[in-house]
């Protein structure tokens, strides 16, 4: 299909103009019609072009998206139209980079997750044995992560609670993913959100601070580091994660494995050393270090200040 037709299709979808669509189709060679309809469907979903989508249906063309990721950002009106015309909200892509169901891709949006649940979305990835916390003893590198692991990394506590109330399992590493993202985020506001998630998972959900991220004794999977504290990598982190390091240590994290890979003079190694010294000085009373408390209060104070526009 020529660029001329592609450009015209793009304009037709942006303007939701079926006249332009007719013109583009009339200019397209017969052997290129399937590609023409594919491009039109994709653009129409992106642009929420309801007139174009209805026109495709009248022509007998399927409007079912091929990939879950291709409908991210579509309006609820568009999504409901797609559902009414055969879209399976629980469908998964068939490529390694696009294998998550639609709801997995919108976990940062509480209202969209709620909408998905109301429209038949399952908390279990299709095609996988439902994960059962404390029972499931296997993990495959090609499997879809559990949705609460995804929420722990980029969603809200409210979303986590909602999905858990619907039966979503914790999976192998929600705490690990929350720690990992908290360690890497340079933005202070977003970092504070992940820190809140880490505290919630530890203090409310009651996750094990030394939990493994895969079945014990199994072959190490890609992108898996061990216990949650091992997900803080000094060599790749720009920020000093003292608050996060001390929080995990204070909750009982064993830093032994993480120290094997940390440089002796790294921030992480120095934090562990300082925390141990503080713990001995305090007699192991379990209170949070004063410097960490002061730092968190300072952050909270900054976030609570009113900003006059």
**Per 3-state DSSP, what percentage of the chain is helix, strand, and coil (rounded to 5)?**
55, 0, 45
On the question of pLDDT at 301 being above 80, the answer is: no
Query: Does residue 28 form part of some domain?
Result: yes
On whether residue 69 sits in a domain, the answer given is: yes
Tell me, what DSSP letter sits at residue 62?
A: -
- CA R_g for the chain: 24
Query: Is 33 within a domain?
Result: yes
281 located within any domain: no
Number of structural domains found in the chain:
1
Within-domain flag for 1: yes
- Flag whether 24 is in a domain: yes
| Mean pLDDT on 141-157 | 92
Residue 30 structural domain: 1-74
pLDDT digits 0-9 by tens, 226-251: 999 999 865 466 667 999 999 999 99
Alpha-carbon span 284 to 276, nearest angstrom: 9
Domain assignment present for residue 44? The answer is yes
- SS3 of residue 98 by DSSP: strand
Q: What percent of the chain has pLDDT over 70?
A: 88
Mean pLDDT of 241-270: 91
What does the pLDDT look like over 78-114, one tens digit per residue? 999 999 999 999 999 877 777 899 999 999 999 999 9
Contact 61, 41 (CB under 8 A): yes
Residue 299 reports pLDDT greater than 70: no
What pTM, to 2 d.p., does this model score? 0.85
Instruction: Determine, yes or no, domain membership for 55.
Output: yes
Indicate whether 166 pLDDT > 70. Answer: yes
Residue with tokens 């590609």: 35
């Amino acid at each position: 299909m020529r660029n001329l037709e592609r450009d015209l299709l793009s304009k037709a979808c942006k303007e939701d103009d079926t006249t332009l669509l007719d013109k583009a189709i009339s200019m397209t060679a017969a052997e290129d019609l399937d590609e023409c309809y594919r491009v039109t469907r994709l653009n129409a979903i992106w642009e929420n072009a309801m007139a174009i989508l209805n026109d495709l249906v009248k022509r007998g063309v399927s409007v079912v998206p091929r990939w879950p990721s291709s409908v991210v950002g579509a309006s609820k009106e568009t999504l409901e139209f797609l559902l009414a015309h055969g879209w399976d909200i629980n469908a998964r892509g068939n490529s390694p980079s696009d294998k998550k169901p639609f709801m997995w891709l919108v976990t940062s949006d509480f209202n969209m997750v709620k909408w998905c649940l109301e429209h038949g979305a399952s908390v279990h990835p299709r095609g996988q044995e439902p994960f059962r916390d404390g029972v499931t003893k296997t993990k495959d590198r090609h499997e879809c992560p559990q949705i609460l692991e995804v929420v722990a990394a980029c969603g809200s506590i409210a979303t986590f609670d909602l999905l858990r109330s619907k039966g979503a399992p914790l999976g192998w590493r929600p705490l690990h993913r929350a720690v990992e993202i908290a360690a890497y985020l340079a933005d202070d506001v977003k970092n504070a959100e992940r820190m809140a998630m880490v505290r919630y998972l530890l203090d409310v959900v009651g996750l094990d601070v030394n939990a493994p991220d895969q079945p014990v004794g199994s072959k190490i999977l890609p992108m898996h580091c061990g216990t949650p504290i091992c997900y803080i990598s000094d060599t790749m982190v720009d920020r000093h994660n003292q608050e996060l390091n001390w929080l995990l240590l204070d909750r009982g994290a064993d830093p032994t494995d993480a120290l094997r890979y940390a440089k002796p003079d790294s921030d992480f190694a120095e934090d562990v050393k300082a925390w141990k010294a503080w713990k001995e000085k305090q007699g192991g009373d379990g209170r949070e270090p004063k410097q960490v408390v002061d730092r968190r209060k300072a952050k909270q104070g900054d976030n609570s200040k009113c900003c006059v526009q």
